[in-house]
Amino acid sequence: MKTFALITFISIVYFIAVVNNIRNTQFLALVLLPALALAGCNRPDKPGPTNENSDENKRAANPLPDTLSNYPEPTVSYTEVNGRRLAYMECGRGQPVLLVHGGSGDMRVWENQMRAISSKYRVIAISCRGYYPSEQLHPDDTITLDTFVDDLTDVIHTLDLAPVHLVGHSSPGGYGSLLLARDHPELLRSLVLVEPPAFPLLGVDIPPKLLQILGLMIRRPRVAMGFLRFGAKGIRPAVKAFERGDDSEGLRIFMKANLGAEAFAHLSKARFQQAMANIRPLKAQIRAGFPPFSVKDARSIKVPVLLVSGEKSNVMLHAVTDKLEKLLPNVERVNIKNASHNMFE
């Protein structure tokens, strides 16, 4: 008991020190986006392997296994949504399935899923506002998650997808899909949530309050320490790198803190460059923060939900998925063995 009290005291002091050393935008980001983008912890100087002939780079250049080589190539199209030009890929026929990426992904991350699912479904992968190759953001644009939800709602209407099977990863995809299911259930046939960072379900607002972190430390000390660790080793140094103009370094730090050291070490150069193409909307989301999502909101979602999690994903994302599994009325769950946050890759 004394040891636990000591750990709690040290953690609170550490948290206060972190908060006092960062500005409001960094504090906002402290627990904000461990699901928004793409990757890990122990940081090599360069992401992924340096050998151009490595297996990872070969897979990035030729991502489809032989078993998918006979499926149709997705076609790229554009649509106007809320005054912005958004890109999407589409293939197949049947009931529509809409795939929505995470923080530093775009429609390209779903190519393998599109090719396989298109044998039975009409599959659409969208590149959200500001994401490659959709219309670019201005450098000072701020995007809220509500903006993404509004865009997704209009995409479903414009492309005549309702009711749609909606698959969302991290944020904007996963968290945005939760909000859309809460606000527009009539648009959905089913929902697949791939580790949405809905941290308010854990009793932590964004930005967090000191008493909330203390309460989480008492209830779930391992989860609370995960938040503190991610803030100190992930978001805070990443934001500092972004502010001094070193976007590549900031993205490396963020991805390492999000995916874990092992997954990041196996990230190919091609995949990292894909993430760099989406650095502007990622930074805009960090500036904006997340809207609330309550226990009542989760219980109100009646459509069938499949929760997907990676065995090696971070403790904060596991905690959110565990909570959703208890709250959602019509839910199933699958855990992908040996996988981290980008388990579909």
Instruction: Name all contacts of 57-61 with Cβ < 8 Å and 24+ positions apart.
Output: 57/268, 57/269, 57/270, 59/268, 60/268, 60/269, 60/270, 60/271, 61/270
Write down the pLDDT at residue 67: 53
| CB-CB contact of 233 with 261 (8 Å) | no
- Whether the pTM exceeds 0.85: the reply is no
Q: How far is CA 117 from CA 43, 169, 308, in A?
A: 35, 17, 17
Q: Are strands 84-91 and 75-81 parallel, antiparallel or unpaired?
A: antiparallel
Nearest to 315, CA basis, from 232, 190, 229: 229
Write down the pLDDT at residue 70: 67
The Cα 82–Cα 84 span in angstroms is: 6
The Cα 200–Cα 320 span in angstroms is: 9
Write down the pLDDT at residue 69: 59
| CB-CB contact of 175 with 35 (8 Å) | yes
Write down the pLDDT at residue 207: 62
Residue type, 260: G
Write down the pLDDT at residue 7: 47
Write down the pLDDT at residue 235: 85
Nearest to 172, CA basis, from 107, 255, 112: 107
Residue type, 326: K
| CB-CB contact of 117 with 91 (8 Å) | no
| CB-CB contact of 30 with 207 (8 Å) | yes
The Cα 106–Cα 127 span in angstroms is: 5
Residues in the chain, how many? 345
pLDDT 10s digit of each residue in the chain, 345 long? 544 444 444 444 444 444 444 444 343 333 333 333 333 333 333 344 334 444 444 444 444 445 555 677 899 999 999 999 999 999 999 999 999 999 989 999 999 999 999 999 999 999 999 999 999 997 767 789 999 999 999 999 999 999 999 999 999 999 999 999 999 999 999 999 999 999 999 988 766 677 888 899 999 999 999 888 888 888 889 999 999 999 999 999 999 988 988 899 888 999 999 999 999 999 988 888 788 999 999 999 999 999 999 999 999 999 999 999 999 999 999 999 999 999 998
The Cα 72–Cα 116 span in angstroms is: 9
Residue type, 32: L
Coil, helix or strand at residue 52: coil
